[in-house]
């Protein structure tokens, strides 16, 4: 039985242990899991919650991911790409709100020219104290290198599922290249980025064994940042409509529920005690009143408030009815600090990079 972080041994959380917890339904046992994850969070990354301002800089995408509403096949959305000035204005907002990082996310959009974006990154780094995180899909190594040289600090690229067969079905290759996100993550690390990855919980075709393997993989990759959120069906996608041929699944389908997401969050904290882990927008979308707060109480230590201009934000519909911070919590941007104090936490100071307590130098 687990009670304090110090008596937890790795043996308890081998893949079999993870699998047992994923299947746990007893509410008293789950309370132990939450408390345990919260204790590990407290011991390794403390009470600070790092705030990252998310700017969705473009919703153009060349890919046709089976789960994502931005897929190129979806002709039903108006496409936009923010200008340099608009992005710089958002970075200034992030500074004004006291956020330590700006995250620039987009579909995989080659209309975002590598040199052009390098120029924007240089300006943000010259004019602000912000850390810069990118989440722009599977760009060629030359682009990743140019952005790193311009000063980008971190890169987010979820591997989505460690089940190779399922991955190939839901995330088709593009540009004649086999999609290998693990190899891109290794390249990013060699370039000196802090790297983030993660998965969706309950994606159709995901079984318990593969989800346990995903969590195990987080540890194997020694990730600096890990994002996990529930899969939310989008009606304009093959997965959302149910009209795709899924690979034969041997195990039982994982539900895409709020509870399952908390289990994954808590277990992720336990296997990766030092990682920066957000309480995700997808989670807040399932429980607008409390999702973000419960995520923070069950392992998470990061929140990514959306600072995309409203006229674009509604067009960045990776899944329907996305929650945004100003409507999901008592906090709007300027009220974040007070909201965190009220739930017993405090806003992170500085850039909120990974802290190392010994596992990697």
Instruction: Summarize as ranges the residues that interact with ligand SAH (CB under 6 A).
Output: 67-68, 105, 107-108, 135, 137, 157-158, 160, 200, 229, 231-232, 234, 282, 318-319
Residue 56 beta carbon to ligand SAH: minimum distance, rounded to whole angstroms = 9
Residue 264 beta carbon to ligand SAH: minimum distance, rounded to whole angstroms = 13
Minimum CB distance to ligand SAH smaller for 118 or for 318: 318
Minimum CB distance to ligand SAH smaller for 19 or for 136: 136
Residue 157 beta carbon to ligand SAH: minimum distance, rounded to whole angstroms = 5
How many angstroms separate the CA atoms of 264 and 203, rounded? 13
How many angstroms separate the CA atoms of 287 and 38, rounded? 20
Minimum CB distance to ligand SAH smaller for 13 or for 185: 185
How many angstroms separate the CA atoms of 23 and 4, rounded? 22
Distance of CA 224 to the CA centre of its chain: 11
Residue 23 beta carbon to ligand SAH: minimum distance, rounded to whole angstroms = 22
Tokens of 299: 């392992």
Minimum CB distance to ligand SAH smaller for 59 or for 329: 59
Residue 194 beta carbon to ligand SAH: minimum distance, rounded to whole angstroms = 16
How many angstroms separate the CA atoms of 308 and 333, rounded? 12
What share of residues in the chain are helix, strand, coil (percent, to 5)? 40, 15, 45
Pairing, β 48-58 against β 346-347: parallel
Residue 92 beta carbon to ligand SAH: minimum distance, rounded to whole angstroms = 24
How many angstroms separate the CA atoms of 298 and 325, rounded? 19
The SS3 assignment for 28 reads helix
Minimum CB distance to ligand SAH smaller for 104 or for 336: 104
Minimum CB distance to ligand SAH smaller for 106 or for 331: 106
Minimum CB distance to ligand SAH smaller for 157 or for 340: 157
Please list, residue by residue across 204-243, b when 16 or more beta carbons sit within 10 angstroms of its beta carbon and e when fewer do: bbbbbbbbbbbbbbbbebebbbbbbbbbbbbebbbbbeee
Residue 244 beta carbon to ligand SAH: minimum distance, rounded to whole angstroms = 13
Minimum CB distance to ligand SAH smaller for 199 or for 340: 199
Residue 139 beta carbon to ligand SAH: minimum distance, rounded to whole angstroms = 10
Per the CB < 8 A criterion, the answer to whether 203 and 161 are in contact is: yes
How many angstroms separate the CA atoms of 300 and 269, rounded? 7
CA-based nearest residue to 174, from 317, 77, 71, 243: 71
Per the CB < 8 A criterion, the answer to whether 196 and 240 are in contact is: no
């Amino acid at each position: 039985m687990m009670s304090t972080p110090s008596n937890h041994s790795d043996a308890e959380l081998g893949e079999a242990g993870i699998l047992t917890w994923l299947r746990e339904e007893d509410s008293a046992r789950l309370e132990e899991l939450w408390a345990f994850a919260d204790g590990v969070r407290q011991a390794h990354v403390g009470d600070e919650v790092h705030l990252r301002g998310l700017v969705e800089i473009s919703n153009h995408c060349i890919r046709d991911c089976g789960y994502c509403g931005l897929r190129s096949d979806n002709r039903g959305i108006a496409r936009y790409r923010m200008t340099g000035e608009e992005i710089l204005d958002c970075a200034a907002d992030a500074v004004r709100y006291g956020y330590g990082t700006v995250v620039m996310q987009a579909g995989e959009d080659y209309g975002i020219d590598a040199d052009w974006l390098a120029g924007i990154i240089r300006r943000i780094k010259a004019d602000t104290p912000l850390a810069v995180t990118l989440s722009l899909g599977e760009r060629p190594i030359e682009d990743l290198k140019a952005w790193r040289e311009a000063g980008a600090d971190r890169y987010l690229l979820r591997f989505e599922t460690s089940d190779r067969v399922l991955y190939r079905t839901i995330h088709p290759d593009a540009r004649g290249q086999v999609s290998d996100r693990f190899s891109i993550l290794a390249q990013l690390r060699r370039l000196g980025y802090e790297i983030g990855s993660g998965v969706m919980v309950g994606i159709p075709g995901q079984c318990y064994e593969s989800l346990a393997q995903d969590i195990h993989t987080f540890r194997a990759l020694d990730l600096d940042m890990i994002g996990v959120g529930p899969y939310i069906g989008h009606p304009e996608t093959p997965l959302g409509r149910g009209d795709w041929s899924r690979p034969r699944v041997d195990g039982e389908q994982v539900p895409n529920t709020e509870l399952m997401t908390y289990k994954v969050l808590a277990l992720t904290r336990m296997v990766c005690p030092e990682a920066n882990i957000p309480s995700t927008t997808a989670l807040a979308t399932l429980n607008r009143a409390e999702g973000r707060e419960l995520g923070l109480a069950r392992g998470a230590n990061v929140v990514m408030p959306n600072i995309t201009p409203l006229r674009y934000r509604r067009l960045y519909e990776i899944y329907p009815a996305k929650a945004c911070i100003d409507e999901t919590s008592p906090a709007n941007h300027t009220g974040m600090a007070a909201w965190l104090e009220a739930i017993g936490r405090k806003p992170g100071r500085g850039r909120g990079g990974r802290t190392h307590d010994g596992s990697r130098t």
